[in-house]
A and B are shown apart, each in its own frame.
Chain A
Amino acid sequence: MPQAREVARRVFAKEFNASNMLFKESEDQYSPQYVLTPTGAKCNRVFIVGTLTEKSDIGNDSEYWRGRVTDPTGAFTIYAGQYTPEAAQALSDIEVPSFVAVIGKPSSYKGQDGNPVITVRPEIIVPVDGDTRDLWVKDAIEATAERLQALKAGSTPDAVKAKEHYNPNVDEYRTMLQNAAKSLKSMEVVVTNAR
């Protein structure tokens, strides 16, 4: 049996960027790399929809694109180069700003302060519409709310692990979700007024 495909987790940028726990489940070199986020999302793959606000080719010899994808809570940093040619090509073609969907793998490098900086290596990046962005915000709110509930109850192994490692402030994340929800409302108002 081939290994089951890794599910794409829904995580907001603020939470994703606060992650610093990377691990593998076995010593095997092909064993997948995971990032555990503060609310207990075990990510080997993420699905993000947001606004591509910046992009630049920072490569020397070959193209190496860095982009910033913002959501209501912060921004993801994405990198695409010669090892993900399709994503690199797509990123170079997409205009800034625009709504994009990114399916990708968490990646990391050591920041100046010695802590890991978590980024996303896109497998796929495509332009999407505003409705898709709103659906994702709702999706990510619900997924995060579920994880927070599991965290409080200690009902899943990932939740227990996350609580042990991060001991996150649940109120802070609840406020983050409330703010994210407000971003849905303001968009709806704009659309109604336009009509």
Chain B
Amino acid sequence: MVKELARELKEKFSSMGAPDVPLKEIEQKLDLLVNQYKVPEDEARRTVYNQYARDLKLQRPQAGGDAELVKIKDIAKDGMWISLNAKVMQLWESDKSSIAQVGLLGDETGIIKFVVFAKSELPLLAEGKSYHFSKLVTDSWQGRFSVKLNKATVITPIDDIDTGGAETTMTGAIVDVQSGSGLIKRCPECNRPLNKGMCVDHGKQDGEYDLRVKAVLDDGRTAQDIILNQEMTYKVTGIDVKIAKKMAMDAVDPAVVLDEIKRILLGKYFTVRGRVAGGRYLLVNEMDRTAKDITLDEVLKKVEAI
């Protein structure tokens, strides 16, 4: 019985990239546990397996099995093992030592946040390059999805992926600018916005200033949540972090930045272009006031068609 178990383990180690584990050694360890210490076979196998896995830094076998190749827009559940063909759209700064890389992946259907942990010891990804990612785990936070790369993830460079199809254009009116817009502070560990100087995960932080807008663009059919990053906020409102800080300082109130953004955006028509990330937010790449190019004849034609 012990011999059989030992052979099984030996095979398993080989499949995990460690073919040199001596069969005799495995057998001895199992024998010691099973026959001398009366450990049940299952438990003994588990103990020996864990011991080698730890010592040889073996990769655990896949929890999700075959990790199906999916498109980004189809990611709708967390804790799933998947594979993706995707392009590294953006790499974000991260000061957190446990995170090797963080940013956005995109394919023809959408974009999604990704995180690579330092302990996974994966090769670094290059911005703008496309890869086949085998065995990623999906995750979600506040209804938004992300993928995590881990030790088991296999990264293979592939030909450039066209992510243009994932872009959408929408024209409508800004009907809301939400709280959390304007001058904010982010946690230096995880990049999440601080609330009264507190990060939900990392407690009290000094934080780093950032500027962003969370708004709703409504075309009469859909109410679309949109996000403007620092750069887009500047392009549309003319406010950058430096100006915003001065505004807040002069007024002794950071809310003045939000008020000014509201004054500029609310109730006006804009045409935006961007990608929908995580199924909810449209990340704006381009945004302009909608031009007043009304052709009366066309409008009348639509009326006469009734």
Q: In the complex, A47 Cα to B292 Cα: how many Å? A: 18
Q: In the complex, A49 Cα to B172 Cα: how many Å? A: 13
Given contacts A4-B223, A5-B216, A8-B220, contact A177 B303 (CB under 8 A): yes
Q: Are B220 and A134 in contact (CB-based, < 8 A)?
A: no
- Binary contact track B214-246/A, C-beta < 8 Å → 1, others 0: 001010111101000000000000000000000
**A159 interface hit (Cβ, 8 Å):** no
A1-19 interface with B by 8 A CB criterion: 1-2, 4-10
Q: In the complex, A47 Cα to B218 Cα: how many Å? A: 9
Q: Are A139 and B292 in contact (CB-based, < 8 A)?
A: no
User: Which one of B143, B176, B268 lies within 8 Å of A1 (CB-CB)?
Assistant: B143
**A170 interface hit (Cβ, 8 Å):** yes
- Binary contact track A148-162/B, C-beta < 8 Å → 1, others 0: 110010000000000
Closest approach, in angstroms, between the C-beta of A31 and any C-beta of chain B? Answer: 18
Q: Looking across the interface, which residue of chain A has its beta carbon closest to that of B269?
A: A135
B108-165 interface with A by 8 A CB criterion: 143
B284-306 interface with A by 8 A CB criterion: 290, 292, 294, 296, 299-300, 302-306
User: Which one of A1, A7, A135 lies within 8 Å of B290 (CB-CB)?
Assistant: A135
User: Which one of A6, A126, A174 lies within 8 Å of B306 (CB-CB)?
Assistant: A174
The number of chain A residues touching the other chain, given as a range, is 35 or more
Q: Are A47 and B173 in contact (CB-based, < 8 A)?
A: yes
Q: In the complex, A159 Cα to B47 Cα: how many Å? A: 68
Q: In the complex, A102 Cα to B290 Cα: how many Å? A: 18
**A163 interface hit (Cβ, 8 Å):** no
**A117 interface hit (Cβ, 8 Å):** no
Closest approach, in angstroms, between the C-beta of A4 and any C-beta of chain B? Answer: 7
Q: Are B302 and A9 in contact (CB-based, < 8 A)?
A: no
User: Which one of B225, B262, B267, B306 lies within 8 Å of A145 (CB-CB)?
Assistant: B306
Task: Flag the segment in A21-29, A75-83, A178-186 that touches B.
Answer: A178-186
**B263 interface hit (Cβ, 8 Å):** yes
Given contacts A135-B290, A185-B296, contact A8 B221 (CB under 8 A): no
Residues of B within 8 A of A126 (CB): 262-263, 266-267
**A73 interface hit (Cβ, 8 Å):** no
Closest approach, in angstroms, between the C-beta of A33 and any C-beta of chain B? Answer: 17
A78-135 interface with B by 8 A CB criterion: 100-103, 123-124, 126, 128, 131-132, 134-135
Q: Are A103 and B175 in contact (CB-based, < 8 A)?
A: yes
Q: Are B173 and A8 in contact (CB-based, < 8 A)?
A: yes
Secondary structure at chain B's binding surface: helix, strand, loop or mixed? Answer: mixed
Residues of A within 8 A of B268 (CB): 101, 128, 132
Q: Are A170 and B220 in contact (CB-based, < 8 A)?
A: no
**A142 interface hit (Cβ, 8 Å):** yes
Q: In the complex, A7 Cα to B143 Cα: how many Å? A: 21
Q: Are A135 and B292 in contact (CB-based, < 8 A)?
A: yes
Q: In the complex, A100 Cα to B263 Cα: how many Å? A: 12
Q: Are B300 and A178 in contact (CB-based, < 8 A)?
A: yes
Q: Looking across the interface, which residue of chain A has its beta carbon closest to that of B302?
A: A145
Residues of A within 8 A of B222 (CB): 7
Q: In the complex, A134 Cα to B221 Cα: how many Å? A: 19
Q: In the complex, A3 Cα to B292 Cα: how many Å? A: 34
Q: Are B294 and A170 in contact (CB-based, < 8 A)?
A: no
Q: Are A181 and B306 in contact (CB-based, < 8 A)?
A: no
> What are 7 of the A-B contact pairs (CB < 8 Å)?
A7-B222, A10-B220, A124-B266, A132-B267, A141-B299, A145-B302, A152-B306
- List 10 tightest A-B contacts by C-beta distance, closest first: A101-B267, A5-B223, A131-B292, A126-B267, A177-B303, A103-B175, A148-B306, A135-B269, A8-B218, A126-B266
**Contacts from A to B (Cβ < 8 Å):** 1-2, 4-10, 45, 47, 49, 100-103, 123-124, 126, 128, 131-132, 134-136, 138-139, 141-143, 145, 148-149, 152, 170, 174, 177-178, 181, 184-185, 188
